[in-house]
Amino acid sequence: MVFLIAAAPVPGAAAEPVSTAARTAPDASGSPAASGTSGVPAGVAAAGNWTPPLSTRGRWIVDANGDRFKLRSGNWHGASGTWTGSGDPEADSNQHAGENSGRIPLGLDRAPMAEIIAGFLEIGINSVRLPFSNEMIRDSRPVTDRAVAANPSLRGRTPLEVYDAVVRELTAAGLAVILNNHTNTTRWCCGVDGNERWNTSQSTAAWEEDWLFMARRYRANPRVVGADLYNEVRRSVWDDPNWGLGDDRDWFAASQRVGDRILTEANPDLLIVVEGINWTGIPVDGLPHERPTLEPARRLSHTLVDSGKLVYSAHFYDYTGPNHTGATGTGETSDPRYRDLSPDELIAVLNRQAFFISGEQNQHFTAPLWISEFGVGGRAETGQKQRAWFENFVDQLIRTDADFAYWPLVGWHENRQGNGWALLHWDSAGRRMGLYDGDDWRAAAWTRLMRAEGRTGPVAPVADWSMLSPDRGDFVQSRRMRALPDWDSGARKAVCPDGQRLLGLARTGNRGLCSDVSATALWDPGRGHEVVSDERHVRPGADWASGYTKLQCGEGQFLIGYSVRGAAVSAALCATAPAGRLGTQGRTVWFDRGDNRGPDPKGGDFAYGRYKGQCADDEYAAGIAWTGRVGSSRTPDALYCRKLA
């Protein structure tokens, strides 16, 4: 069965050429507003006014000074391919919307790179999502002279070498660049096209090595700030992707693993961007089908080896929907599209599918949310629903102060005809048609978005909350412990990221919760750790779980991890704190018969459907109790929680 899972825009219609003279951005009403000669809307900071590298604090992205850096981005597509998959790959007629990128970022045949980048700065963006394909990395064929006609210095280069030049010039202009692995093969996305998953047309091992190659390639360029791991993971003809099942279609496991590898083996400064699942099921009325987006992260979220590097991502277009592929004809169902929803319905769906990530604080899934694709047709778009959707979606971005990336930045126009989705268009003679040339209905909404008030300046450090999920293998998120020999061979091990301590544990399912709340990093690296598999540290007269086996840390130690064999507790991992950091007063938190997480627990539901125990924010976990009595699986039954000093 062939069906469309729409990712990027369908072709637009007419477009209008204009002068290339300096433009002036309109205000939110559409009237001209005060700006510099570049046309950047008033109040938008210069693109280069930030200090790399970037990291995260709760739901915010911050620069090296701790100042909020809002990703006001656009997509410069083309390097991942524009060929639709049939006919001559070089013919314009076989390219999406007739726009032939020549296997490199679109528009380099029509305008000098400096002019294109100046256009980006003019409309106020500070960052570019730059798609590539895995095939592009190895493509040794030089680009055609035609593809770089307006940039003759790029003649004879491979697509990757052109990509290098684009990255260099974007970052030299002060723009941040997020590398985006868009497709396996160099062709237009997205349908049943061999690019549905990271490993559809290649092995997972090859995909991981490609990411390490790309992350290392630009490591010396600090304004290359992010790795967007894969675009719109979706169903193939035969099977669905999943989030946590542990097979070769498990997007959670694949993205968790490659994200950690990028940080530990290639470039520790990069943000790791994880998109949700774009589509599962067969799009036929009466059969299960949906667009899960980021909803699975509420129950199973990523914990990278370095806290402060995870960004979640989602895409929204008017013609798709929570249960609609976006197709017309084959693959179309009777489900509503996003444009069919009322403003209130749209907000509710958007919050459920993605915006909860940044909207709910102090949860294991809390992270910045980057809407890395959204867009709509420009001058020729007359549909009332489409226009209303765009206005409503911009309202949502403003209301939530969300990071965003418009799709696409660059397009073609010719004799007032072409794909009208882009914000900037060039014709074959190099004449530009821009967003702020007076006849694009999107200009007012774009300016409203760019000039909207949002958080700026310093962002104070916040507590990190992290889920441990050794569901099917080791989940050791401590760099220190990764560098040491296996501390419980044959068991599945879970360890908090360095700087965090274990605060919560599930009775079954093996999940855990870590945080650094109410305390700075406690582990004294000079004093090591201890693996505890017996009651050696339980003092006479201080039995905190009578009749149960207790794995207790020694005095001055706290829990950072645990190991399991099947469902059974195997060992506790204890780290040593500097003298005077830990108190000795303790209490037993039982969770053998129900949740016991306190009256207002932070961190969220880290083990959905399981009994959980959790120490208070001002406590540390110092022991785990279990029983081997008949009928028990030796699962955790209680935590020993002690006060911080």
* pLDDT reading at 37 higher than 50: no
Return d(Cα 262, Cα 53) in angstroms, integer.
Answer: 15
- Confidence class for position 6, pLDDT limits 50, 70, 90: very low
Q: Do 73 and 174 fall into the same domain? A: yes
| Beta strand segments in 282-382, E | 289-290, 310-315, 369-374
* Residue after which a domain boundary falls, among 423, 451, 479: 451
Q: How far is CA 577 from the centre of its chain?
A: 34
- Confidence class for position 419, pLDDT limits 50, 70, 90: confident
Tokens for 372? 């890395």
Return d(Cα 412, Cα 421) in angstroms, integer.
Answer: 10
* Residue after which a domain boundary falls, among 396, 422, 451: 451
Task: Give the pLDDT confidence of 72-95 residue by residue, as tens digits.
Answer: 999 999 999 999 999 999 999 999
Task: Name the residue range of residue 399's domain.
Answer: 61-451
* pLDDT reading at 408 higher than 80: yes
Return d(Cα 218, Cα 130) in angstroms, integer.
Answer: 13
Nearest 5 degrees, angle CA 357-CA 359-CA 361? 85
Return d(Cα 118, Cα 316) in angstroms, integer.
Answer: 27
Measured from the Cβ of residue 439, the count of other Cβ atoms closer than 10 Å reads: 13
Task: Give the pLDDT confidence of 327-360 residue by residue, as tens digits.
Answer: 999 889 999 999 999 999 999 999 999 999 999 9
Report whether 47 contacts 59 (CB < 8 A).
no
- Confidence class for position 417, pLDDT limits 50, 70, 90: confident
Encode 245-305 in three state secondary structure: CCCCCEHHHHHHHHHHHHHHHHCCCCEEEEECECCEECCCCCCCEECCECHHHHCCCCCCC
Task: Give the pLDDT confidence of 580-602 residue by residue, as tens digits.
Answer: 999 999 999 999 999 999 999 99
- Residue predicted with more confidence, 215 or 25: 215
* pLDDT reading at 21 higher than 70: no
Residue 414 forms beta bridges with which residues?
417
Residue 529 lies in a domain: yes
* pLDDT reading at 22 higher than 50: no
Q: What is the pLDDT of residue 590?
A: 98
- Confidence class for position 630, pLDDT limits 50, 70, 90: confident
Report whether 574 contacts 552 (CB < 8 A).
no
What DSSP line would sit under 74-100, residue for residue? Answer: EE---TT--B-SSS-TT-GGGBGGG--
Residue 291 lies in a domain: yes
Q: What is the pLDDT of residue 629?
A: 86
Task: Give the pLDDT confidence of 492-513 residue by residue, as tens digits.
Answer: 999 999 999 999 999 999 999 9
Nearest to 15 by CA among 419, 347, 400: 419
Q: Which amino acid makes up residue 146? A: R
- Residue predicted with more confidence, 526 or 267: 267
Helices 442-451 + 384-400 axis angle, to 10: 0
Tokens for 600? 């207002």
Q: Is 27 helix (H, G, I), strand (E, B) or coil?
A: coil
What does each C-alpha distance from 586 to 92, 537, 541, 552, 639 come to in angstroms? 72, 14, 14, 12, 10
Q: Which amino acid makes up residue 446? A: W
Q: What is the pLDDT of residue 13?
A: 31
Q: Do 271 and 410 fall into the same domain? A: yes
Q: Do 345 and 376 fall into the same domain? A: yes
Q: Do 636 and 585 fall into the same domain? A: yes
Residue 46 lies in a domain: no
Report whether 417 contacts 51 (CB < 8 A).
no
Residue 273 forms beta bridges with which residues?
228, 311
Residue 273 lies in a domain: yes
Return d(Cα 45, Cα 404) in angstroms, integer.
Answer: 16
Tokens for 512? 């855990």
Q: Do 438 and 480 fall into the same domain? A: no
Q: Give pTM, 2 decimals.
A: 0.94
Q: Do 223 and 292 fall into the same domain? A: yes
Establish whether the linkage from the previous residue to 408 is cis, with ω within 30° of 0: yes
* pLDDT reading at 28 higher than 70: no
Nearest to 508 by CA among 373, 613, 618: 613
Q: Do 138 and 239 fall into the same domain? A: yes
| Domain total in the chain | 2
Q: Do 440 and 473 fall into the same domain? A: no
Tokens for 338? 């996003």
Average pLDDT across the chain, whole number: 92
Return d(Cα 105, Cα 108) in angstroms, integer.
Answer: 7
Task: Give the pLDDT confidence of 104-114 residue by residue, as tens digits.
Answer: 999 999 999 99
Q: Is 211 helix (H, G, I), strand (E, B) or coil?
A: helix
Eight-state DSSP code of residue 23: P
Task: Give the pLDDT confidence of 122-132 residue by residue, as tens digits.
Answer: 999 999 999 99
What DSSP line would sit under 397-420, residue for residue? Answer: HHHHT-EEEES-SEEE-BTTBS-T
Q: What is the pLDDT of residue 529?
A: 96
Quick one: what percent of the chain has pLDDT higher than 90? 88
Residue 31 lies in a domain: no
Q: Do 325 and 414 fall into the same domain? A: yes
Residue 52 lies in a domain: no
Q: Do 438 and 478 fall into the same domain? A: no
- Confidence class for position 632, pLDDT limits 50, 70, 90: confident
In this structure, the chain runs to a length of 645
- Confidence class for position 46, pLDDT limits 50, 70, 90: low
Residue 303, domain CATH:
3.20.20.80
Q: Is the backbone of residue 357 left (phi > 0), alpha (psi -120 to 50) or beta?
A: alpha
Contacts of 380 (CB under 8 A, 6+ apart): 12, 13, 14, 15, 420
Tokens for 619? 């406590």
Q: Which amino acid makes up residue 500? A: Q
Pairing of strands 72-75, 403-406: parallel
* pLDDT reading at 117 higher than 50: yes
Nearest to 410 by CA among 15, 38, 64: 15
Residue 32 lies in a domain: no
Look up tokens 């996305």; give the residue.
189
* pLDDT reading at 16 higher than 80: no
| CB burial string 92-108: b at 16+ within 10 A, e below | eebbbbbbbbbbbbbbb
Q: Do 535 and 388 fall into the same domain? A: no
Q: Do 406 and 499 fall into the same domain? A: no
Residue 27 lies in a domain: no
Q: What is the pLDDT of residue 45?
A: 52
* pLDDT reading at 5 higher than 50: no
Nearest to 268 by CA among 314, 319, 304: 304
Q: What is the pLDDT of residue 48?
A: 76
| CB burial string 5-37: b at 16+ within 10 A, e below | bbbbbeebeebbbbebeebbbbbbeeeebebee
